[in-house]
Amino acid sequence: MIGKLTGQLLEKNPPQILVDCHGVGYEVDVPMSTFYQLPATGQTVSLLTHFVVREDAQILYGFATASEREAFRQLIRISGVGPRTALSVLSGLSVTELAQAVTAQEAGRIVKVPGIGKKTAERLLLELKGKLGADLPALGAASAVGDAAADIQQALMALGYNEKDATAALKALPAGVGVADGIKLALKALAR
């Protein structure tokens, strides 16, 4: 029903924002990935939206990109996953990270999201397989990196480093480095 909002950003109270569209203030729930991309209050903001009507509420969800909104829509189609859980998943993982987890069937990445247990993570992986990430260019690039680089990155993330730091450490590694040596070199680089 409401597919897009463009207006003045009045308030930012995570995960909810208030957008004034020609005198009408819309309360919109957004994932943290979108929240961090928002301009300062008083500035113009444009969001793609998904409108949910329930027996006890009408809630508008907003997204910075079409891929975020599509991922949200795929998530809420899964039995037992409601809009709040979908928002939580998109707040904890970028669409690219979610697509990579689905492609690699890595429940461990999804379980790290608050409110997602092992069974829910496995259901997400099963239901989203083949539906999410096929059109994401970043996913194709990530799968072409090679098994060693992917294993090194996984190891760094398992040790508690975020994906950004792990990726930066990977870029500093020499080409063709083995997994064990790559992990040691990456840890040295991250320790600096």
- 71-80 pLDDT, tens digit per residue, is 999 999 998 8
- 141-184 pLDDT, tens digit per residue, is 444 345 677 778 877 887 888 888 888 888 888 877 778 888 88
- 86-125 pLDDT, tens digit per residue, is 999 999 998 888 988 888 888 888 888 888 888 888 888 8
- Tokens of residue 127, six digits: 């239901």
CB-count burial class (<10 Å; 0-12, 13-18, 19+) for 110 = buried
Q: What is the pLDDT of residue 20?
A: 96
Span between the terminal Cα atoms of the chain, in Å: 52
**What is the rounded distance in angstroms from the CA atom of residue 13 to the CA atom of residue 59?**
15
The residue-averaged pLDDT of 53-64 equals 93
**What is the rounded distance in angstroms from the CA atom of residue 110 to the CA atom of residue 114?**
9
Say which amino acid occupies 43. Q
Strands 58-63 and 24-29, bridge-based pairing: parallel
- 6-53 pLDDT, tens digit per residue, is 999 999 998 999 999 999 999 999 999 899 999 999 999 999 999 999
Q: What is the pLDDT of residue 49?
A: 96
| Structure confidence at residue 134 as a pLDDT band (50, 70, 90) | low
Q: Cite the beta strand spans of 22-148 per DSSP E.
A: 24-29, 44-53, 58-63
Phi-psi region of 104 (alpha: psi -120 to 50; beta: other; left: phi over 0): alpha
**What is the rounded distance in angstroms from the CA atom of residue 90 to the CA atom of residue 38?**
16
Say which amino acid occupies 22. H
Closest CA to 70 of 15, 3, 115, 165: 3
Q: What is the pLDDT of residue 50?
A: 95
DSSP 115: T
The total number of residues shown for the chain amounts to: 192
Say which amino acid occupies 31. P
Closest CA to 74 of 16, 137, 123: 123
